Every structure is written in C-alpha cells, then in structure tokens.
C-alpha cells in the first residue's frame, strides 16, 4: 500500500532518540521531509544526519517544548526550509516516577509541561497553515499507562489528558481535513529504557504480563504513526490506537 507520504513535511518532537527517532527514519524512508525537534540539539542533529546519509531530507532544531517561543522558532525554521508542515507528531514525553505523597510539585509540573503543554504549543504553532491547506495529520503519543500505574499519577494524568485533548481538537478540526489521533504504546524497548537500572526487572514484568508473549519495538509505533499520517487513514480521527501487544491493565 502506498502511504502517499512522499514529499509531505512531518515535524516530530523528541526525535533525537527512541520512538521519535525511529518514526523520523520511517517517514524519511517513505519519502517525507522531516523536521527533527528535540531539547538535545546534538541528538536531533544526529537523527537528521542519519536521514541525509541514507539519501533523505531532514533538518534538526533544538527546542524545549515547554517554551512557546522556542516552539515557534522551531516551527518557523521548518516552514522556512520546506514551506509547509503537513504532519505533526507530538512524540516527546517524559516521566518522573514517584508515589503521590513523595512527589515534589516540580515533578508534577515538569511532566505536565512537557507532555501536555508541549503538545498544546506545537499544535497551536502548526495548525494555522494546515487549516489554510485543508489537510493535516496530528498524531499524539499517549501510553497504556493512561489506565494507571502506581508511582505514575503525574504521567498517567498527562497521558489521559492527551486523549481528551486529541478528541476535542479532532472535533474542532474535522471539517478542515485535519485528523487528530492518539497512539498509545505499551512497553517498548528503547535505548532509554534499556539504560535504566531497573530495566531487567521492568522487562521481566512487562513480558510476563504481555498477551502476545513478546515486547514491542520502536518500529511497531513508527509504522502505526506513519499509517495514521497517510491519506488512507482519512476516516480515522479522534481515536486512540493501542499498540500494546494486547495488554491494557497495569
Ligand atoms: N518507550 C515506552 O515504553 C513508551 C511506552 C508508552 C508511551 N511512550 C511514549 O512515547 C513517547 C516516546 O517515548 P520514548 O521511550 O521514545 O522516549 P525517550 O525518552 O527515548 O525519548 C524522548 C525524547 O524526547 C526529548 N525531550 C524530552 N523533553 C523534551 C522537551 N522539553 N523538549 C523537547 N524534547 C524533549 C528527549 O530529549 C528524547 O529525545 C513518549 O511520549 C512516551 O511517553 C513510551
């Protein structure tokens, strides 16, 4: 199936590593031009360089998504280079895991600021020109953890917020040819997760609870995002796609 992504311009946040990086490489292989945005400028540059070395088109931009002016500057740099942004993937996300009574206000604020307000800033910066073209795709990263994980009240709340945000925005933009969906991954083996001291234990638990009996990889998410960004997904909006190997509960 031709996804029709050739020549499209996609902006992907948090694409310096992990799921975002793999998503950027996937879009580039489909012929899209990719704007890589990350708070770690070197990682963003590295992803963009990997795409260019493989013959694709990409530019990198350093940006802290919690800062509206930095988001506007990154969006501006992609628009200056490619003239449009057709697909926005709000992928960047963080967690600060600790039980509620031990949680510092700063842990709450940072998770909400990156995961929710970052998505708010990016959508507002990108939407006007999508609306003018009467075509757009917004894909927001949620999580199976939206159903609740102990030690993740902040992260769970932020991912549930993303689902509500996506549904409301999908209705606002439904007549403008713009779809808005959430992709909710289960446990995905990224380099970041593999580097955690608790990784062996986390892996064991995730594997034992997984109905399909294996763990997902970044490409499982990247392929789902690419499909939702395609012309073929025009009738899918306001929904959440779970890419969890069949696991829902904690
Ligand atoms: N990996 C999983 O198992 C899993 C499961 C469910 C949901 N998710 C979600 O998928 C998304 C990607 O996860 P991942 O595992 O690839 O994460 P990751 O930690 O590997 O990468 C996240 C990227 O976001 C960037 N980032 C963080 N804060 C930023 C900010 N303020 N501004 C700009 N960039 C920032 C980081 O620099 C990093 O490159 C996240 O939204 C995450 O919540 C991941």
* Residue 43 CA, closest ligand 1 atom number: 39
What pLDDT does 249 receive?
83
The domain that contains 77 carries what CATH number? 3.40.50.720
**Where in the sequence is the domain holding 88, given as residue range(s)?**
9-243
- To test ligand 1's pocket by mutation, which of 89, 94, 152 has the most ligand atoms within 8 angstroms of CB? 94
250 inside domain: no
Per-residue pLDDT tens over the stretch 99-156: 999 999 999 999 999 999 999 999 999 999 999 999 999 999 999 999 999 999 999 9
Tokens coding 193: 């997760």
249 inside domain: no
131 inside domain: yes
238 inside domain: yes
235 inside domain: yes
| Cα–ligand 1 centroid distance for 16 (angstroms) | 9
Per-residue pLDDT tens over the stretch 63-91: 999 999 999 999 999 999 999 999 999 99
55 inside domain: yes
30 inside domain: yes
How many structural domains does the chain have? Answer: 1
Output the furthest CA–CA distance in the chain (Å, rounded): 51
Is the distance from the beta carbon of residue 162 to the nearest atom of ligand 1 less than 6 Å? no
Residue written as token pair 């075509």 = 135
E strands along 84-239, which residues?
87-90, 136-141, 178-185
pTM of the model: 0.98
Q: Whose CA is nearest to atom 17 of ligand 1?
A: 18
| Cα–ligand 1 centroid distance for 92 (angstroms) | 4
* Residue 17 CA, closest ligand 1 atom number: 39
């Amino acid at each position: 199936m031709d996804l029709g992504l050739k020549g499209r311009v996609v902006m992907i946040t948090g694409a310096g590593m992990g799921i975002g990086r793999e998503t950027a490489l996937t879009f580039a292989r489909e012929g899209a031009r990719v704007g890589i945005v990350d708070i770690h400028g070197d990682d963003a540059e590295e992803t963009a360089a990997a795409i260019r070395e493989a013959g694709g088109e990409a530019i990198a931009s350093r940006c802290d998504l919690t800062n509206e002016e930095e988001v506007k500057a990154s969006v501006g740099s992609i628009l200056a280079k490619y003239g449009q942004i057709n697909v926005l993937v709000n992928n960047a996300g963080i967690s600060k895991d600790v039980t509620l009574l031990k949680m510092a206000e700063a842990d709450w604020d940072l998770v909400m600021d990156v995961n929710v307000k970052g998505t708010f800033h990016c959508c507002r910066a990108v939407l006007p020109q999508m609306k003018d073209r009467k075509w757009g795709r917004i894909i927001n990263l949620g999580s199976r953890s939206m159903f609740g994980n102990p030690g993740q009240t902040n992260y769970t709340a932020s991912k549930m917020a993303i689902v509500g945000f996506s549904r409301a925005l999908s209705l606002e933009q439904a007549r403008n040819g713009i779809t808005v969906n959430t992709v909710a991954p289960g446990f995905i083996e990224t380099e970041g997760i593999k580097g955690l001291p608790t990784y062996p234990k986390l892996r064991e638990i995730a594997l034992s609870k997984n109905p399909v009996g294996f763990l997902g990889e970044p490409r499982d998410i990247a392929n789902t995002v690419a499909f939702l960004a395609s012309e073929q997904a025009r009738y899918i909006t306001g929904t959440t796609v779970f890419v969890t190997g069949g696991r829902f509960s904690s």
